[in-house]
Structure 1
Amino acid sequence: MTQNFNHMQSIYWVFTQLCNDDCDHCYNDSSPFGKRISEADCLAIIDNLPDKIDRLILSGGEPLADRKLLHAILDKLKERYQGNIQIMIQTNGDLLNPERLQTLIDKGVSRFDIASIDRYHKKAGGRLMELADIFESCGVIGTEKDPLIEGGHYLAENPLSWGYWGASEDMWLGGNWARGKAMKHDIWLKDPEHNFCTILSGARNFLGGYEDIPQEISIQLWRINPCCPGTHFPMGDARKQKVSEVLERASKNAVFKMLNEGNPLEMGLSLGVTKEEATAKNEELKNICLYCDHFLKCHKDEIFDKNGVLANEV
């Protein structure tokens, strides 16, 4: 594991669940009625982020559906990090136009990911060529290189770039995450053999120690999580706690150390829950995220103190 949690390789921050779309598969219930937090909360979160972050991904919801808040966040990031941070925006692209794109570039965004090129989203990729023209008009280069995986695990270079991807039944929002509307509409992946923890956006390597995937945590509004789906109880509250201190506590917690290794079926060993018992329950629940929820609910008092703070040793 890393020894310095005041330097993070990647943070994925869903700062709003407000969205212009209302997709059946959305894991965090984003919609035109999605949850929001205040500008004051967002600015407090930025104050509590690590002193050095290689890459910050701003997502939603739809970031451009909450433009005033997005601009305030970008201004605060520029003030704090003085440009020494790679800022990415993950957007469905529906609300993007040349003027809005140029404003985001001027405020420090250098990577744009269009995360809607699939059959689940309203536009279903129909605007892709128009988006390509918009990006070209502002000097943003299209690339197939995946900044989440390639190039030293994050965009080390500075040129403006954009790319696109989408959900599918086998990967990402359309299949794996037993969360939100995917759960309500019964399109979550019922496969106990699939270990989401081991892949990008799962918990593996959130504390560092591996080179094959980025060291990344997720902040859902204010909830500090080891993964994008999020554990049933968050590791901490980014409005009130320093992210580096929360991760330091997690690095001493046997349950979360196992999640960092991508072994959720072994996270109960220190509490007397055998891998065989965990495997049987996972088979019953049919999804590793649901098993993780079950485990944390059953052992909350052993993993967290009475204030909901992670215990150092369990």
Structure 2
Amino acid sequence: MKKDFNHVESLYWVFTQLCNDDCDHCYNDSSPFGARISKEDCFAIIENMPDRVDRLILSGGEPLSEIKLLYAILDKIQEKYGDETQVMLQTNGDLLNKEKLEILIEKGVRRFDIASIDRYHKKAGSRLAELGEIFESCGVNGTEKDPLIEGGHYLAENPLSWGYWGATEEMWLGGNWARGKAVKNDIYKKDPDHNFCNILSGARNFLGGYDDIPNEFSIQLWRINPCCPGTHFPMGDARKEKVVDVLERASKNLVFRMLNEGKPLKMGEHLGVSQEESKAKNADLKNICLYCDEFMKCHKDEIFDKNGVMATDAIS
């Protein structure tokens, strides 16, 4: 596990849940009525981010549905990090045009990922060719489709790029997190053997120590999470706390250390909950995210203090 939490490889920030679409499988309840936070809150969150962030992914909701806020955030990020941070934007592309793209590039966005090319989104991928033309007209390279950017520094060699993907029966629908509208519409993945925690966007490696997937954590609006789905109780509030302090506390908490290893069924061993008991409960719930929620609710007093601050354990 890493020691310097003031330098992280990747930070995924959902700064708005407002969206022009209303997809049935959306894990964070994004919609035309989605939750929002103020510009002041967003600026406070940026101030509380680590001093070095190699890659900052801005997402939603639909970021372009709050275009003025997005522009203000990008200006603030440029002010804090300059060109040292690779800024990526995840968007459904519905609201993107050439004028907005030019402004986004001017404000420092270097990677665009269109995350809606499937039959579940409103446009169902119908704008893909048009978007390709818009990107090409602005000199944005479309040959690199992989949104992960292997090695983390592809953008340094190819300063402007875009890619696309969408929901499939294997992922987002077939591998959907038990969160938000996916739960309400009963379309989350029911497979106790599927360990979301151990793969990209899960908690594994949010504290570092592995080289096969990015060292990444997420902020959902203001909630600091070890993963994109988010734990039932957040690790901290990015509006009020330095993220580095929250990550350092997590590194001393045995529950979150197990999440960092991608082993949620071992979260409770130090509390007397055996892996066999955890497996049985997970089998009943049929989803590792639901098991994680259940565990956190049952053991909140051991994981957090009376003020909701993550507790630390004595680690030799």
TM range (shorter): over 0.9
Matching residue of 2:4: 4
Determine the C-alpha separation between the residues in 1 that align with 2:292 and 2:209.
22
* Structure-2 change in CA distance of 1:153 and 1:250 (3 Å): farther
String of CA shifts for 1:37-90, please: whole Å, max 9, x gaps.
Answer: 000000000000000000000000000001011011001001111221100000
CA deviation after TM superposition for structure 1 residue 207, in Å: 0.3
CA deviation after TM superposition for structure 1 residue 170, in Å: 1.9
Matching residue of 1:191: 191
Matching residue of 1:18: 18
CA deviation after TM superposition for structure 1 residue 129, in Å: 0.1
Determine the C-alpha separation between the residues in 1 that align with 2:86 and 2:144.
18
| 1:255 matches 2:255 | yes
Higher alpha-carbon deviation: 205-214 or 151-160 = 151-160
CA deviation after TM superposition for structure 1 residue 153, in Å: 7.1
Matching residue of 2:137: 137
Determine the C-alpha separation between the residues in 2 that align with 1:204 and 1:15.
22
CA deviation after TM superposition for structure 1 residue 149, in Å: 5.0
TM-score, reference length from structure 1 = 0.98
* Structure-2 change in CA distance of 1:174 and 1:64 (3 Å): farther
| 1:101 matches 2:97 | no
* Structure-2 change in CA distance of 1:18 and 1:152 (3 Å): closer
Determine the C-alpha separation between the residues in 2 that align with 1:6 and 1:205.
15
Matching residue of 2:223: 223
SS of structure 1 residue aligned to 2:112? strand
The amino acid of 2:278's aligned partner reads: A
SS of structure 2 residue aligned to 1:53? strand
Matching residue of 2:297: 297
Identity of aligned residues (%): 78
TM-score, reference length from structure 2 = 0.97
Matching residue of 2:233: 233
Determine the C-alpha separation between the residues in 1 that align with 2:111 and 2:268.
39
The amino acid of 2:263's aligned partner reads: N
Matching residue of 1:54: 54
String of CA shifts for 1:220-274, please: whole Å, max 9, x gaps.
Answer: 0000000000000000000000001100000010000000000000000111100
* Structure-2 change in CA distance of 1:227 and 1:313 (3 Å): same
* Structure-2 change in CA distance of 1:10 and 1:76 (3 Å): same
Matching residue of 1:128: 128
SS of structure 2 residue aligned to 1:3? coil
Q: How many residues align?
A: 314
Kept in 2: contact 1:8–1:52 (CA 8 A): yes
| 1:213 matches 2:213 | yes
Equivalent residue runs for 1:15-164 within 5 Å: 15-148=15-148, 150-152=150-152, 155-164=155-164
> Considering only aligned residues, what root-mean-square deviation do their CA atoms show, in Å?
1.2
SS of structure 1 residue aligned to 2:111? strand
Determine the C-alpha separation between the residues in 1 that align with 2:299 and 2:105.
46
SS of structure 2 residue aligned to 1:55? strand
